[in-house]
Amino acid sequence: MPQRSPQQENHTPVIGIALTLLLSIALATGCSASTAGNEAPPGEPTPELASTGTPDGPQEPQSAPAEDTNQQETEAVGENRPVTDDGVLSYRDVPAFEGNPYVYVNDGEPTFTDEQRAAEPGHEHYGELDELGRCTAAFAVVGSETQPTEKRGSIGEIRPSGWQMAKYDFVEGKYLFNRCHLLGYQLTGENANPQNLITGTRYLNIQGMLPFENAVADYVDATGNHVLMAVTPIFEGDELVARGVHMMAESVEDGGEGVAFNVFCYNVQPGVVIDYGTGESMLEEDATPLPDVSGAESAPDTASEGAGAGEASEKGATGSAEGKGTTEYVLNTNSKKFHLPSCSSVDQMSPKNREDVEDTRENLIAKGYDPCKRCNP
């Protein structure tokens, strides 16, 4: 890996990190695997700051015009998102996950407060847990003085809000959730600090947060300079698992020319549907009767167990065949569940498992299908 340049030729924030850095990610240093006390194995060489080219060969500092580069990166990773007047990102302003681990916020430009910019080198602050036991925010002026000097210890005794033990064979390391540091261990040396650990997916850990943590660590190592860094978990309502994390960083001595970014990283795991209210999860193809979560629309009024199909139709189905007593339902051919078309679980269903039918409730049950427990058709 070539030596990292202390400064970028590109003076526009973000942007100090090209999309290609995601392709050279190694195993996590910022989060711990979900097995008690497990640590992620050491990573491979970390990605370049402000780099272009292919992940297979050496990457040189970028010299292309900032406008063109930023436009290409933004189009590659998704929309830019604004922040509110008080600088706090609302999850409702974040676009739905579409396969990219992060999106830029505020065109990638950090929005640190005057108080944060005035903080002394080495300063660290970890917000108190809220009334639900959730992490709030973490901030540090990262430098060599904050980096760890001792071997990392166990954090298995910490159970962040929404913590669940779930394993899927296709997830790296098998475990869905990691104990994710808001400020990575390699940056601050914080280990079993409950105010700095959230329930985060392996995907959030590796594909989302780690490239940005590595970029900050590499810059500090190469220059001896300092970096403002703030990480805030973004929750929706009273949910116990964050929908993602809002990460900002800006190098201090060179005014952000060395490293600067402002991103939202998604707390998702492709192929898995997560109930953010509780931390429970299931395979995407089986995602039908998930428990309701805070902020979700309430299920339609349910028909009684013995109600006829016509009555059920009036309580949520989109239509029925006249005079035949049949109702429109949506089948999940994999989980053998049937739903009203208005059921929120239908949106989570894999297209290959979906079948739209007109039938009676009794006939579907006789065919081996069970009614969804959410919409209770």
Closest CA to 137 of 86, 175, 102: 86
The label of the residue with tokens 């509110």 reads 84
The CA distances from residue 315 to 93, 218, 285, 305, 311, in Å, are 32, 58, 27, 13, 7
φ/ψ of 61, rounded to 5, equals: -55, 140
- Backbone torsion region of residue 266, taken as left when φ is above 0, otherwise alpha when ψ lies between -120 and 50, otherwise beta: beta
Measuring CA to CA, which residue among 24, 14, 11, 223 is closest to residue 103? 14
* pLDDT for position 375: 72
Q: What is the DSSP letter of 373?
A: T
With CA atoms as reference, report the closest residue to 194 among 181, 185, 184, 208: 181
Which residues are paired to 142 by β-bridges? 227
For residue 323, the Cα-to-chain-centroid distance in whole angstroms is 49
Reading the block at residue 290, the tokens are 């998930």
The pLDDT of residue 199: 98
Of 211, 209, 203, the C-alpha closest to 268 is 203
Tell me which residue of 222, 246, 228 sits closest to 124, measured CA to CA. Answer: 228
CA distances from 17 to 23, 55, 70, 228 (A): 12, 13, 10, 16
Quick one: which of 242, 228, 235, 199 has its CA closest to 138? 228
Low-confidence ranges of the chain (pLDDT < 50): 1-30, 32-79, 84-85, 289-323
Domains of the chain, each with CATH number or no CATH: 19-274 (3.40.570.10), 287-371 (no CATH)
Question: How many other C-beta atoms are found inside a 10 Å radius of the C-beta of residue 144?
Answer: 14
Which residues are within 8 A (CB) of 232 and not within 5 positions of it... i.e. 6 or more apart?
Answer: 88, 89, 136, 137, 138, 182, 245, 246
Query: Is the pTM of the predicted complex or chain greater than 0.85?
Result: no
Q: Which stretches does DSSP call E strand in 164-321?
A: 177-181, 197-201, 227-234, 244-251, 260-266, 272-274, 281-283
